[in-house]
Amino acid sequence: MKISEINFSILLIVLLLLGCEKQQVEGDTTVVPEADYSLNADQTHNRWSSTIEPLIKVESGSVIEVATEDASDQQLSPESTIEDLKNLDFDPIHPLTGPVYVEGAEPGDLIKVKLHKIELGDWGWTAIVPGFGFLADDFNEPYLKTFEFNKGSREVNFSDDISVPLNPFPGVMGVAPATDSMLSTIPPRANGGNMDDPHITEGTTVYFPVFVEGALFSIGDAHATQGLGEVCGTAIEAPMRIVYEIELIKNGRSIQEPQYETDDYYAVTGFGTTIDEAAKKATRYMIDYLVEEHNMNRNDAYALCSLAGDLKIAEVVDVPHMLVTMHMPKEVLGIK
């Protein structure tokens, strides 16, 4: 190879690297696309409503980089004490970065959100807040634990003897509902919202039904890690940087609540006031998916859900709703 050819090859590689960010994930190199837009952690709201004005308008396929605040909206810090927790104001809870208006999105469409990068901040907290949580009647004393993270941390020390793997993900993501009321972000709804599902992490693609013009997508309430259920009412709440790609789907399959997929499985979500109600909805949504996308009759789809579908409780604390999901392995469906 000539020197000029070598120089050209080096230049080409440099140009390619300038257009993307690389990260190491368990030894594999994953390419993160360059952001078309950036939003900071001060560009937030904490209600769901069609009347909240969008911060930006983007075309389908745009990549957006956002900074998100911790769930307390800076009321807590690494130095916080129980007294700070006692004074916690719930009104600013769940600052969501957005909304983002997607050009051409109309009610009945879908938007597809691919989570390319979720980068942990340098600290987080978990708490027991009296009156809140799955066992609220059993735990009456406030409790607060804070954590510090290093760049590249894979786990966090819970105590001298216990460490917990980190699995950062956005607890809240969704589109605006078709109402001018200012709805609380606490419960999950058909528009998404506070799903608190630790499976919706880096690399996951989430689908949302569109209810209003422009969709008005927002994201926040990031968690450094959380168990299924989030039983005490909090995860490790932490500020983060998230890079996502948003795409408009016209004339696609109709869905009533968010659905998502990874390389390994397709998943549906169902919310309800009881686990039974949510689980039944999730099962029906998976049957609908199998019928519409895999040409199965409903009896076969129902039977397959029993043989290979996995019901999972995402969260049980965000009253008045709970969230249940069903996962279907792509290997079972012959999807490679």
- Convert the pLDDT of each residue in 204-257 to its tens digit: 999 999 999 999 999 999 999 999 999 999 999 999 999 999 999 999 999 999
Q: Is the pLDDT of residue 336 over 90?
A: no
Q: What is the pTM of this model?
A: 0.91
pLDDT given at position 199: 98
User: What does pLDDT average to over the chain?
Assistant: 93
pLDDT band at residue 14 using 50, 70 and 90 as cut-offs: very low
Residue among 124, 98, 99, 119 at smallest CA distance from 243? 119
Q: Which residue spans within 4-122 are E strands per DSSP? A: 20-25, 28-33, 37-39, 44-45, 56-58, 62-68, 96-102, 110-120
Give me the domain span that covers residue 69.
26-252
Q: Is the pLDDT of residue 130 over 70?
A: yes
How far apart CA 122 and CA 145 sit, in angstroms, is 15
pLDDT given at position 30: 73
Average of per-residue pLDDT across 161-173 = 98
How far apart CA 53 and CA 114 sit, in angstroms, is 23
How far apart CA 231 and CA 127 sit, in angstroms, is 11
Task: Name 113's bridge partners.
Answer: 206, 246
pLDDT digits (tens, 9 = 90+) for 269-322: 999 999 999 999 999 999 999 999 999 999 999 999 999 999 999 999 999 999
How far apart CA 131 and CA 138 sit, in angstroms, is 9
Domain-embedded: residue 146: yes
pLDDT given at position 24: 43
**Least confident stretch, 13-27, 78-92, 148-162:** 13-27
Q: Is the pLDDT of residue 111 over 80?
A: yes
- Tell me, what CATH number does 197's domain have? 2.60.120.580
Contact yes or no for 250/80 (Cβ under 8 A) = no
pLDDT given at position 29: 58
Pairing of strands 240-249, 62-68: antiparallel
pLDDT digits (tens, 9 = 90+) for 141-162: 999 999 999 988 899 999 999 9
Q: Is the pLDDT of residue 16 over 70?
A: no
Q: Is the pLDDT of residue 100 over 60?
A: yes
- Please enumerate, as own/partner, the contacts of 28-32 that have beta carbons within 8 Å and a separation of 24 or more: 30/203, 32/116, 32/117, 32/243
**Least confident stretch, 8-12, 50-54, 237-241:** 8-12
pLDDT given at position 27: 46
Domain-embedded: residue 270: no
Tokens of 6: 């070598």
pLDDT given at position 151: 86
Domain-embedded: residue 157: yes
Helical residues (DSSP H) of the chain, grouped into ranges: 3-18, 82-86, 275-294, 298-308, 330-333
Q: Give me the half-sphere count of Cα atoms (radius 13 Å) on the Cβ side of residue 2.
A: 3
Average of per-residue pLDDT across 119-126 = 97
DSSP calls for 180-214: SS-B-SSSEETTEEE---TTS-TT-EEEEE--STT
How far apart CA 175 and CA 110 sit, in angstroms, is 10
Domain-embedded: residue 111: yes
Structural domains in the chain (count):
1
Residue among 29, 31, 100 at smallest CA distance from 64? 100
